[in-house]
Amino acid sequence: MKLKYFMLLLLPAVLFASGAAEGEGKTDIVPRVINFVIFASILYYLIAKPLKDYFTGRTTEIADRLTSIQDKLKESKDEKEQALQSVKDADVSAVDIIETAKKEAEMLSDKVAQNLKKDLENLQKSHDDRIIVEEKKMSRGVVEEVIESIFDNGKINLKNDDFLNIIKKKVA
């Protein structure tokens, strides 16, 4: 098959190789054009497929790189959106934490104030009770001293019955 094409390509070269046109005053433009067409055809036949494959491969390679870059760009945009969303979530979370901390601080201060108030009330009550106990002790002590001084000095002569009556009146 290739031999047939090769023979067809050589046929015009053989036909126009005679040089008779130069002597008659004719120009050799037609044979030159035919030779150029044949040369261009052979060149196209030999180079067309590799060139087409090269440019197709190059186009595919560029398209693949462009797709890869677009994918990376999309991934970057997605990551940026996720980061922004994380920042927004962190801001909301921070506000919630601050509000919770303020509420807890208020609750703790109220609890401490209540505990202090109860402690103060308990201290006041125990102080009042202690004062009453001390007053009773002091009054007993004074009464004992007065009674002992009265009985020891012999200034008052009371009989036991009279003394018991006085105590019964005081107790009642």
Tens of pLDDT, residue by residue over 90-118, are 999 999 999 999 999 999 999 999 999 99
**Residue 124 has which token pair?**
């006041």
CA angle 64, 67, 72 (to 5 degrees): 125
pLDDT score, position 161: 72
Question: For 150-162, how does the pLDDT look when each residue is reduced to its tens digit (9 = 90+)?
Answer: 666 666 666 667 7
Is the Cβ–Cβ distance between 150 and 156 less than 8 Å?
yes
Supply the Cα-derived Rg of the chain in whole angstroms: 64
Question: For 74-87, how does the pLDDT look when each residue is reduced to its tens digit (9 = 90+)?
Answer: 999 999 999 999 99
pTM: 0.41
Question: For 30-58, how does the pLDDT look when each residue is reduced to its tens digit (9 = 90+)?
Answer: 888 999 999 989 888 888 898 899 999 99
CA distance 15 to 30: 12
